[in-house]
Chains A and B, each alone.
Chain A
Amino acid sequence: MAVKVIIPTPLRAYAGKQESVEVQAATVAEALSAVTSKFADLKKHLFSEDGRLRSFVNVYVNDEDIRYLQNDQTSVKAGDTISIVPSIAGGAC
C-alpha cells in the first residue's frame, strides 16, 4: 500500500530535508523500516539501540496513536498518513 509518512521538522535534517516520504507498506513497522532504509541517519533518532521506538517519539496512523492500536503491527491501507510526532519544548526562549 502506498502510504505517506510525515517527517516532523526536528527530524527533516536527517531525511534529506523532506516534509514527507511516500513508501510502500502494509504495517507501520514496514513503513518506518522503509523510511529508515532510505534515510539511515533517521534511524537512531527514531529507534533506540534495541530496536524499539524511542519514548519521546509518537507515531499516529491518521489521527490515532499506534499505542492504542496494534503498535508497530498496526496495518495501514492505501492513502493512510503516518505521522511521526516528537516531543518539542520551545516556548519561552
Chain B
Amino acid sequence: MATKIQAPMGPASDGRGAGLSKQEVLRYSRHLIMPEVGMDGQLKLKKARVLCIGTGGLGAPLGLYLAAAGVGQIGLVDFDVVDFTNLQRQVLFGTSDVGRPKITAAADRLRNLNPEIRVDAIEARLSSENALELFQDYDIIVDGTDNFPTRYLVNDACVLLGKPNVYGSIFRFEGQITVFGYPDGPCYRCLYPEPPPPGLVPSCAEGGVLGVLPGIVGTIQAAETLKLILGKGQSLIGRLLLFDALAMKFRELKLRKNPDCPVCGTHRTVTKLIDYAEFCGIRGEEAPSTVTNIPEITPTELKTRLDRGDDLYILDVREPHEYQICNLNGHLIPLGELPRRVHELDSSREIVAHCRSGKRSAEAVEFLQKAGFRKIWNLKGGILAWSDDVDPSVPKY
C-alpha cells in the first residue's frame, strides 16, 4: 500500500535548531522552572523526533502528552478509521470523528493542542517494505500497536536501525511496559522469542479492555519517552513493568538481554525484516481460525427453521455478562465450562451453537463433534449477524 504522508504542518520557520520563542517559554514554563527539564531539557524535547505507531488506546495519551511536552516532531502511523466502539478508550477522538481516518483526527487534535510542533500524519499500514524507511527520520519509536506481527516487526526494525523502542501492551486490565532496542539492553525477542499461535490470545474485541488501562500504560510510555529524550531518571531499559489496574499494583521483573537472541545477540541471524504474518502463523488478512469443516447455519436459515416449528436447541457459549446485553433465549454454557457441563446437552437433539461473532461457537461445535455429537451447527456470524440479518432490535456490542 502506498505510504501517504500529509504535508507536515508546524511553525513557519523551522525553529527546531534555535532557542525558544517567547510563546514557547510561556507555554512550557512549568517545565522550564524545574531543574530536571529547564531550558536545556526543553530544547532537547524541541529537537526530538518521535514516531508513534498506532493512534488508538495507547497512542491517544501518548500523542497528547508528547505534544503537550513540546516534542518537536511527532510522527503518527495508522491506517484505520475511527469506529464508534473506539470512543470508550481512544480519547484522541470525539463522536464527530467517527468515520474519519484516525490519522487525520489525531493530527488535528495534536496540532490544536500544540501548534508549535510538527506533526507528520502517516496514513499507512506498517510493513516490512516501509518500516525501515519510515523509522529513519525519527530518534525514538513508540510501539502502540495491537497485534503480534507488528510488534515483532517494530522490534526488529528498531534493532536493525539502532533506535530505542518504547514498548507497551495491554490485556483487559493488565499492562506491560519496557524499553527495548538499546545496544546493551534486551529486545522484544529476548523476552518472547516466539509469538503465541493465532487465536490463543484474545484481541480487545474478543476479551474486552478497561478503557482507562491503555490510558495509564500509554501515559507511562510517554513518560519513558520524555525521560529518554531528557536523559533523566531511571528508564525501563532492562525492566519489565507489570501493571494490574484492578489490584492497582505495579510489579517489576528483570529483563535480560539474551546473548543468543537472533536479532540483537552476539551471533545475529536476522539481518533484515521478514514476513511477520508468516512468523506469527497468520496467512493473509483473514481472521485467525484453525477450525475447519464446521457445519454452519446462517441466521436467516435458523429463523426460517424456528418459524417452521423445528425443535432446535440453542446453545449460547458466551459469558454471563454478554447474555445480559442481548441473547436468543439460548441455554448458556460459557465455552470454558463446556467440557465440564457437556452432560447438560442431549446429543439426540439438533443443537445450534452461537456466540458473539461465530468464532467461539465454532470451537464449541468442534469440541462437541469430537465428543460424539452429530446434530450440531455453528451459527455463522453469531448474534452480530442475527442482528444484521434477522432482528435489528438486538443490540450489537
Could you tell me which A residues sit within 8 Å of B by CB distance?
A: 8-10, 13-14, 19, 41, 45, 54-56, 58, 60, 63-65, 67-68, 83, 85-93
Contact = CB atoms under 8 A, between A and B. Distances in A.
B242 A85 contact: yes
Contacts of A19: 247
Given A90-B146, A92-B145, A83 B251 contact: yes
A91 B253 contact: no
Given A55-B193, A63-B252, A93 B57 contact: yes
Contact of A56 (B59, B78, B195): B195
A91 to B, nearest CB: 4
Contacts of B202: 10
B119 interface: no
Interface residues of B, number: 52
A38 to B, nearest CB: 14
A79 to B, nearest CB: 15
Nearest to A89: B148
Closest 8 pairs (CB-CB, A-B): A92-B56, A92-B54, A93-B146, A92-B146, A88-B171, A55-B194, A93-B204, A56-B196
B122 to A, nearest CB: 14
Interface of B: 54-59, 78, 80, 143-148, 151, 168-174, 176, 191-196, 200-205, 207, 209, 214, 217, 240, 242, 244, 247, 251-256, 258, 336, 339
A83 B58 CA distance: 25
Given A19-B247, A65-B254, A91 B200 contact: no
Interface centre among A13, A14, A93 (most CB of B within 10 A): A93
B169 A88 contact: yes
A10 B171 CA distance: 7
Nearest to B205: A93
A37 B156 CA distance: 38
A10 B253 contact: no
Contacts of B58: 91-92
A56 B151 CA distance: 13
